[in-house]
Structure 1
Amino acid sequence: MNKFIALIVGSSLLLAAMIFLLVRNDQSTSITNANGEAAEPLVLFCAASNRAVMEAIRSDYEAEFNRPLQIQYGPSQTLLSSIEVSKTGDLFLPADDSYLAMASDKELVAEIIPVAKMQAVVAVRKGNPKSITQFDDLLSKDARFIQANPDAAAVGKLTRNVLSKVGLWKKLDDATTATHTTVTDVARDIDVGAADAGIVFDAVLHTFDGVDFVELPELADAQANISVGVIASSKQPQAALHFARYAAAIDRGMKRYEEFGFRVDGKESWGDIPELNIFAGSMLRPAIEDTIAAFESREGIRVNRVYNGCGILVGQMKAGQHPDAYFACDSEFMDQVTDLFPERVDVSENELVILVQKGNPNNITTLKDLTRKGLRVGVGHEKQCAMGWLTQKTFREGGIQTKVMDNVTVQSPTGDMLVNQLQAGSLDAAVAYLSNAAGAAEFLDAYPITGISCSTATQPWAVATDSKYPETASRLFQKICSAKSQDDFAAEGFRWKLQTVNTTKTLPGKDPETEE
């Protein structure tokens, strides 16, 4: 019997994918873009539980941007299988982001953008005639309790998972008088009086006038997170990301989600072509510039980056310039703006080294060597950059600050300037980051600073609390944390410090579920 059921389910999934392809190929596009050309439709695979709200968002989006949106509704598992089989489509919006975690594991989606939440609640007839207010009321023989099949529907499986952990599932299962395939069927039975109570997602009840709901503490953890994923094989990722941002914007799609009874807590504003402002220490530029440029191109947005000494950047921020994100050269300069960036992540590390001309003609290998009379030494400016601040701290710990400063002829806001002057022959030595020497190995030699514990800088990243585009900034950070980007950091002399980045935003301990 199990093999027979598996065969039927597998055949159904394949049939769904084939039907979708046939329907898509038969549909013609009559909408044109701003240039009068036929606009290629965006194809969205969407969970049926989101149908009502998504139809409203589709109407808004097509009216505002004159771009058609084709939507395939169905069970989330069936949609995921269709994407995997057909290798088509642009966007995937399941009823719960556990499906996006599965899709991500299979490399079927590239970006994931959170949208809204649904809460499992007890649906009752209007006015709650059975006075159902607590969990034990569901077990009463006087109440006809129904629910969605836990082996077929997300709300049923989610309910089973949550209640099993506290030993209540068997009691509820025994009290269940009937099960249905979908959450909508449960709500419909209660609406027409065929049942007294059932567990549904709260947002599903938006279209059922004859149904109220009761929230129970036992179901508090039974919450579905709704996100939209951009399908990795999409031929139009810019357009797909444009719609995904629209659906998740607090002043566009998220307003509709709230109107339709979903729970929202997003902070991302809408921008047709958002401008993301990033402040970053100059030494980080060679490690992140290519990643930012690629992100900018894929998203179809603008990323305004300001590279400079972190002391200068902090001064600009204290004067009122607030970027969306800040990538500091050292924790000290993030500490100075914690009011703007309270939640930071330490990403990488960089070492101070002694840089000399190729072949080391002056035989300079230690900090003490820098104190020899007649040497021309360059360092970072203590007030203008993290490198200069860390250099002075290193000199103090090494007990050579006074003597070495007698030889300092240049104090620069960036390490690149020191490298240029070394190559030009106007300096004999400089204290800079190892990353500064990464692109000048044929001209310079680098010597590590040993015996000094403070010669390592840590580079933290943070998104501003008042950013208009916090989710977009977070997606940029995910690209910075990609394997390719980590290789770029290593090639530029950085050590990667961050261990993991949560890109799917799946609830801890949550199992993948099947949705109607």
Structure 2
Amino acid sequence: MFRKLLAIVLLIAAGGLAFYSLRTESSASGKSLTVYCAAGLKKPVEAIATQYEKDTGTSIALQFGGTGTLLSQLRVANRGDLFIAADDAALADAHKLEVTREVLPLAVQHPVIAVAKGNPKNIRTLADLEKPDIRLALTNPEAASNGKIAQKILGARWEVLAKKAAVMKPTVTEIAADTKLGAVDAALVWDSTVPQFKGLEAVKIPELSTHEEKASAAVLSSAVSSVEALKFARYLSAPEKGGTLFKEHGFQAAGGDAWVVKPELVLYSGGVNRPAIEKLVQDFATREGISITTVFNGCGILCAAMKTMEDSSSSNYPDVYYACDVCFVPPVAENFPEAVLLTEAEIIIAVPKGNPKNIKTLADLARPGLRVGICNAEQSTLGFMTQGILKSMNLFESVSKNASSQVPTGDFLVNQLRTGSLDAAVVYHINIQNEIEHFESIPLPADKAKAIQPFAVRVNSPRRQLGYRLLAWLRANQKSFTDAGFVWRGDAPAVKSSELEIPEWLQQR
């Protein structure tokens, strides 16, 4: 009863929603979610919520209204679990207001003109809407995303249409209903709105229908349980669950991950990334309510494992791959065709404090009697890059003679330096970041010293959207990377794996 009264109070405070639906009965599981949903998506979301309640026992309380109205309400209420918005701009506004977290696309929509079946007024263009005998209905851009988008697309022409409009209402469903009843001759709505009303048809015009917007579900910052909110969001977006019902109601489904109650994600990561991401990955799994299998190793070993599996549809094949450098993306580029360059790490020569052997350059590593540690070129990115660097400087043969240790990762070399087994080692600066009191670093030539770490999601992963949410989570936690000693690069868009810039001396043959 309290929740129902609160909903009514909020409706008044927000200036009035077009309509609302609130289920207050207790569920068998004792779990419940409150969902704020754009009115234009009412029919499919109600159907999906009903099916979800049957499948899981979780009660779904739904409140409907114009996207703008709902967003205003959320700012005041600071409660609820999911916000289903009709357009990207509304989600961007919600993000700026810090009321939303994860976003899962549900459907793709385009603005169109709705008219009565048969188009009796012969409306074909925007100019036809300006004719004196045409009664036009629009949505209020302050309340509905449809109106806001149309206003943005049409510019000055919107002002002309707004002055002429017979009615302007808060939701697309209201003006579509007016068109069906004959109260108006035409209305600017979403293409997904028209199939929900018998007796209407859509007129597509280039000025509007070429524009695309995504209707999406966003987890609210006020969600009582992120696990339960994300679980329902995944159900909404899953092709065989919510996607099917969206299509049945005339929507173009955006395409989400295949539905499972508790997804399992497989992450392959180069060892150098471990200090920055190990806890982040655990936190992400906890928030999402999923399982993550994380394999840290040298990238040569990781790529070899992927090639051995051959079939990328195997449940053991990684869904996401966070390499130590771009040079270890080409071997698996078929399955990871694009990557985001998240970070970079400096490669150095590490020596004991005081630099007792007076090592100044890579050439010094060739001095007779010196015990040098380098990583294995076939197993690790660091080893492969060290080999490439030395070969490009004609030092590989002479330094290799002193290489008393060739191991998969730089951490092993640092341990050997600590015990006195080595005089110097080529490692990442990150490897000595937390033990700087024991070591000194000798810089490499500037054009040789940088490894760039790309993050990629497998193109045919059934958990592709989950992989991209992990990427978003890592991007939102930049401090973890900089604290670990990385240089942050993750704000740039993804690049095609085929277009990665790899120096000649690092290209794999």
1:462 aligns with 2:453: no
Equivalent of residue 418 in structure 2, options 418, 423, 428: 423
Report the Cα distance in structure 1 between the residues aligned to 2:144 and 2:339, rounded to whole angstroms: 38
The aligned counterpart of 1:494 is 486
1:7 is aligned to none
Q: Quick one: which of 94, 98, 110 aligns to 1:103?
A: 94
Give 2:112's aligned residue.
121
Identical residues among aligned pairs (%): 39
Q: Counterparts of 1:419 and 1:245 in 2: how far apart (Å)?
A: 43
Q: 2:392 aligns with which of 389, 394, 397?
A: 397
Q: 279, 282, 300: which is aligned to 1:290?
A: 279
Match of 2:267 among 272, 275, 278: 278
- 2:12 matched residue in structure 1: 15
Distance 1:174 1:300 in 2: 50
* Structure 1 segments unaligned to the other structure (5+ residues): 1-10, 34-38, 503-516
Structure 2 residues without counterparts, runs of 5 or longer: 1-7, 495-509
Q: How does 1:121-160 map to 2 (within 5 A)?
A: 121-160=112-151
Q: State the shift of 1:300 in Å.
A: 0.3
Cα distance between partner residues in 1 of 2:106 and 2:53: 19
Counterpart pick for 2:26 among 10, 16, 30: 30
Who is 1:87 aligned against? 78
Please report how far the alpha carbon of residue 215 of structure 1 lies from its aligned counterpart in structure 2 after TM superposition. 1.0
1:310 is matched with which residue? 299
1:46 aligns with 2:42: no
Are 1:237 and 1:298, in contact at CA under 8 Å, matched by a contact in 2? yes
Question: Is 1:355 paired with 2:350?
Answer: yes
> Which is worse superposed, 191-200 or 325-334?
191-200
Q: Does 2:400 match 1:409?
A: no
* Correspondence for 2:59: 68
Number of the residue aligned with 1:220:
209
The residue number in structure 2 matching 1:36 is none
Separation of aligned partners in 2, 1:14 and 1:409? 74
Provide TM-score, normalisation by structure 1.
Answer: 0.86
Stretch deviating more after TM superposition (428-437 or 172-181): 172-181
SS of alignment partner, residue 73 of structure 1:
strand
Residues 488 and 159 from structure 1, CA distance in 2 versus in 1: closer, same or farther, beyond 3 angstroms? closer
Residue 434 of structure 2: SS of its match in structure 1? coil
* C-alpha spacing 1:137/1:162, structure 2 compared with 1 (3 Å): same
Distance apart, 1:235 and its partner CA: 2.0
In 2, the alpha carbon distance for the partners of 1:478 and 1:97 equals 16
* CA deviation string 1:355-385 (max 9, x = no partner): 1223333222321221111111110111211
Q: Aligned in 2, Cα 1:253/1:390: closer, same or farther, shift over 3 Å?
A: same
Is the CA contact 1:250–1:269 (under 8 Å) kept in the aligned structure 2? yes
Instruction: Tell me the amino acid that sits aligned with residue 108 of structure 2.
Output: K
> 1:68: Cα distance to partner?
0.7
C-alpha deviation, 1:486, in angstroms: 2.3
Q: Do the aligned partners of 2:39 and 2:64 also contact (CA within 8 Å) in 1?
A: yes
The code of the aligned residue for 2:293 comes to N
1:74-122 CA-partner distances (Å, limit 9, x unpaired)? 2223322332222211111122232222221121112122111222111
SS of 2:369's equivalent in the other structure is coil
Post-superposition Cα deviations, 1:14-43, rounded to whole Å, max 9, x if no partner, equal 7346999xx99x97543222xxxxx13111
Aligned pair 1:380/2:369, yes or no? no
Conserved 8 A contact 1:159-1:222:
no
Deviation at 1:179, TM superposition (A): 3.5
Aligned to 2:500: none
Structure 1 residues 220 and 15, CA gap change in structure 2 (3 angstroms): same
Partners of 1:175 and 1:297 lie apart in 2 by 53
**Within 5 Å, which residues of 2 pair with 1:314-325?**
314-319=303-308, 320=310, 322-325=317-320
Alignment of 1:183-222 (within 5 A): 183-222=172-211
Closer/same/farther in 2, CA of residues 377 and 235 from structure 1, 3 Å limit: same
SS at match of 1:52: helix
Between the aligned partners of 1:138 and 1:19, the Cα distance in structure 2 is 29
Instruction: Supply the distance in 2 between the matched residues of 1:145 and 1:228 (Cα, whole angstroms).
Output: 31
Q: How many residues were matched structurally?
A: 479
Please say if residues 356 and 428 of structure 1, whose CA atoms lie closer than 8 Å, have aligned partners that are also in contact. Answer: yes
Name the CA distance, whole Å, in 2 between partners of 1:224 and 1:368.
58
Taking a change above 3 Å as real, the CA distance of residues 317 and 118 of structure 1, as seen in their structure-2 partners, is same
Cα displacement string for residues 360-416 of structure 1 (whole angstroms, at most 9, x for unaligned residues): 332223212211111111101112111011111221233322211110111111111
The residue that corresponds to 2:340 in the other structure is 345
Deviation, 1:170, is 5.1
CA drift at 1:63: 0.6
* C-alpha separation in 1, matches of 2:168 and 2:68: 19
- 1:508 corresponding residue in structure 2: none
> 3-state DSSP class of the match of 2:192?
helix
Per the alignment, residue 330 of structure 2 pairs with: 335
Q: Name the CA distance, whole Å, in 2 between partners of 1:181 and 1:111.
A: 26
Partner deviation per Cα, 1:144-193 (whole Å, 9 max, x = no partner): 433334454332332222122xx644554565444444322221222122
TM-score, normalised on structure 2? 0.88
Q: Name the SS for the 1:378 alignment partner.
A: strand
Q: Structure 1 pair 28/171, CA: closer, same or farther in 2 (3 Å)?
A: closer
Deviation, structure 1 residue 273: 0.6
Structure 2 vs 1, CA of residues 147 and 80 (structure 1 numbering), >3 Å: closer, same or farther? closer
Q: Which residue identity is paired with 1:111?
A: E
Q: Distance in 1 between matches of 2:134 and 2:456?
A: 52
Tell me if structure 1 keeps the 8 A contact 2:475–2:491: no
Aligned to 1:453: 447
Check conservation: 2:109, 2:252, Cα contact below 8 A. Answer: yes
Query: In the alignment, is the contact (CA less than 8 A) between 1:122 and 1:200 conserved in 2?
Result: yes
Contact in 1 for aligned 2:380/2:408 (Cα 8 Å): yes
Counterpart code for 2:485: G
Q: What is the rounded CA distance, in whole Å, between the counterparts of 2:481 and 2:148 in structure 1?
A: 43
The structural deviation recorded for 1:12 is 8.8
1:248 aligns with 2:248: no
